[in-house]
Chain A
Amino acid sequence: MKLVDKLTLWLVVVLFLATPLSMVISYNSIRGNIYNSEVERMTDVNDKVAQQLKAGQPPHRYMLDRPIAINKVRSMPAQATKTTKFCFYNKHLKRDETRLDVASFYKINNDVYRVSTYNYIAPGELIISGMLKALFWKMLLITACVALTGRLISKLVLSSFQKTLHNIQNFSLHQKEKLEFANTNTKEFKELNFFLKKMTDKAIEDYGHMKEFSENASHEVQTPLAVIHSKLELLADTPINENQALLINDMQNAIDKLVKINRSLLLLCKLDNQEYETQENVRFCTITNSVISQYENWIQLKNLSVTKNVDKRVYVQIHPVLAEILVSNLLSNAIRYNIDNGDLSITLTKNSLTVSNTGLPPEAEPEELFQRFKKSNQSADSIGLGLSIVKQICAVNNLDVTYTYLDGIHTLHVVFAEPSMVIEEQSTETEIVFDKNTAIA
């Protein structure tokens, strides 16, 4: 629910609660005023009659349109004026009526006279029903006003909040640009902007430090690794026995893995830093074919049946090194996680690259496998960075990659953002010729 709707709703609820109370107050005040003014008027009439009596003039039966009754009484009561209210049911009008009697006592020439007059006043129900009628229109007007002005004012007041929200939504750590917030004179929004600015600046700074650290660490590790690598090689050339040879081999394997992890992490770092930006269009088909031929041996070893549909003249704007790593990672995954005698299909069109393979069902959600060091099969002899590199390469080059698993088939689908350009050129196609002789006997 929108903030303005919520506020409007609450305001209306408060109004509906407060209105009956205010009605009781107005009703009492109106009725009191009517009653008092009526009593005042009739007392005035009585006074006038009394003056006439004093002057010896015979009083008229009606004075100022009020019926007058004059009686002689024996003694003066304690109160000079007496008001009485009668309520009765008017059969003709079919409603309750209220009659107000005002009797005043005067002492004229040693006689005590009681002068009384009466009038009908508006009964309470009439006032209430009138107020209720007005209430309906009043509430309608107020609700409409609140809803309408609420919207307009909220647009005005919340505009800086909306801007802040927009800023935050577009915030990305990769952009390295600090967030700038619009000025506002609302205290709460000022605080919010201040806090957000502090938070995002810190995040950018920390992210930068972290990236710098991982890049520096990776670089610094390379040289010691190179030292160990070379020493092990020299050690292998010295006279050693079988046990020692096995130990050296294990070390070499571990170091190779370490080197690979380090290289992959460095590559990810560089991708983050946009070091592979390019305006060139590479021939994706050539790269795909050459990568496939690199994996020929492995494909034969696992005895996979390959379905290859690679269109010619597919151009994609991507750095050639990245294109090779992308295809290579997709393909090596498709082979590594394939079953023996399984199927492997590679389809390259002008708009997309699809690599699908048979394999065991993934142990994790397919999309989760794009995370670093996430492997479907933890014991597999890989480092678990292949797919996250794929994801990162795609992110940097505005390609869309999805991983699906259906009926025993794993499919990785890369969609090229812009329809890749078709450049008609002289047919000097230098298609990669498959080395048919690489067959393993």
Chain B
Amino acid sequence: MKILVLEDNRELADSILNFFSSEGYVCELAPTFSEAKDKLISFSYDCILLDIMLPDGNGIDLLKFIKDENIESGVLIISAKDALDDKIKGLETGADDYITKPFHLSELHARLRAIYRRKKLNGNNTELISYNEISLNTATFEAFINGQLLDITRKEFELLMYFLVNRNRVLSKQAIAAHLWGDYTDNLANLDFVYQHVKNLRRKINLLNGNDYIDTIYGLGYKFRSADAVL
């Protein structure tokens, strides 16, 4: 996957680049509006991470540019402003998703993958994500172990998906809670449920004789251990 990152904050841009490079993605950084335009005209990207507040222009204007130039990349808006009209305007102008600073890199990754999947599917709803004996149907929210239907809840499905996307990453309980319950619900209280959900998921996979890929990282969270190279 090829990504263009529009972010004027150097340290944050470094974190994003660091994270995605280790996923094996090709990342390019454009700290300004004009640089981004140049790159978008010359190259094609699967996804664009767009900070809405740039030193030399508004991200919404760049969205219009992307639309006018018929650029097919998926766009994920990053904003420091949790402003609603930005969100609505952004989504109306053609952005695919919206994330508010500060965010978990694993969450950013999951959203990016979702956009990428949707773009790649091109309207075809059914897609199977598979890893070894595990396969997930993102349209029906069904999971299978060796072809056998796994009896899991919607939240457990989302959790498994989150693990699969962020393989070999330490996922903190906070990141998982934010992913499953959103920003506005009380994540501090949700931390206990993360433990419950992970426990249930492991037990259910185990029931169908699946491998236990989920490691507990003491004090931090969980990690989906995968032997293979990154996606």
Contacts and interface: CB of A to CB of B under 8 A. Distances in A.
A381 interface: yes
B188 A381 contact: yes
A226 B12 contact: yes
Given A263-B183, A297-B196, A328-B185, A234 B219 contact: no
A93 interface: no
A225 interface: yes
Interface string B72-108: 0000000011111100000000000000111111100
Q: Of B104, B174, B219, which is in contact with the most chain A CB atoms at under 10 Å from its CB?
A: B219
B6 to A, nearest CB: 14
Contact of B102 (A226, A242, A275, A298): A226
B19 interface: yes
Contact of B200 (A325, A332, A441): A441
Given A226-B101, A263-B82, A298 B188 contact: no
Interface in A319-365: 321, 324-325, 328, 332, 335-336
Contact of B106 (A228, A233, A255, A321): A233
A269 to B, nearest CB: 10
Contacts of A237: 169-170
Interface string B168-190: 01101011000001011111111
Given A266-B82, A382-B188, A440 B105 contact: no
Contacts of B190: 297-298
Given A226-B103, A263-B82, A231 B219 contact: no
A335 B192 CA distance: 14
Nearest to B168: A237
The SS class assigned to the A binding surface is: helix
B168 to A, nearest CB: 8
B203 interface: yes
Interface in A136-192: none
B69 to A, nearest CB: 29
A59 B175 CA distance: 138
Interface string B153-168: 1110000000000000
A223 B19 CA distance: 17
Given A252-B174, A438-B155, A440-B193, A328 B184 contact: yes
A249 B18 contact: no
A248 B184 CA distance: 23
Contacts of B187: 256, 260
Nearest to B186: A332
Nearest to A237: B170
B15 interface: yes
**How big is chain B's contact interface, by range?**
35 or more
B84 A275 contact: yes
B181 A294 contact: yes
Contact of A234 (B18, B83, B103): B18
B9 interface: yes
Contacts of B26: none
B15 A437 contact: no
Given A223-B80, A226-B102, A236-B220, A231 B15 contact: yes
A336 B155 CA distance: 22
A210 interface: no
Contact of A259 (B9, B19, B102): B102
Given A245-B220, A249-B219, A275-B84, A236 B185 contact: no
A253 B174 contact: yes
A338 to B, nearest CB: 12
Contact of B104 (A233, A249, A301, A335): A233
Contacts of B186: 298, 332, 336, 382
Given A222-B100, A256-B187, 4 more contacts: A249-B219, A252-B172, A257-B188, A438-B153
Q: List 3 A-B pairs, minimum CB-CB distance, nearest first.
A: A230-B15, A226-B102, A245-B219
6 contacts: A227-B12, A229-B103, A230-B15, A230-B102, A253-B188, A382-B188
Interface of A: 219, 222-223, 225-231, 233-234, 236-237, 242, 245-246, 248-249, 252-253, 255-257, 259-260, 263, 266-267, 270, 275-276, 294-295, 297-298, 301, 321, 324-325, 328, 332, 335-336, 381-382, 435, 437-438, 440-441
Interface of B: 9, 11-12, 15-16, 18-19, 80-85, 100-106, 153-155, 169-170, 172, 174-175, 181, 183-190, 192-193, 196, 200, 203, 217-221
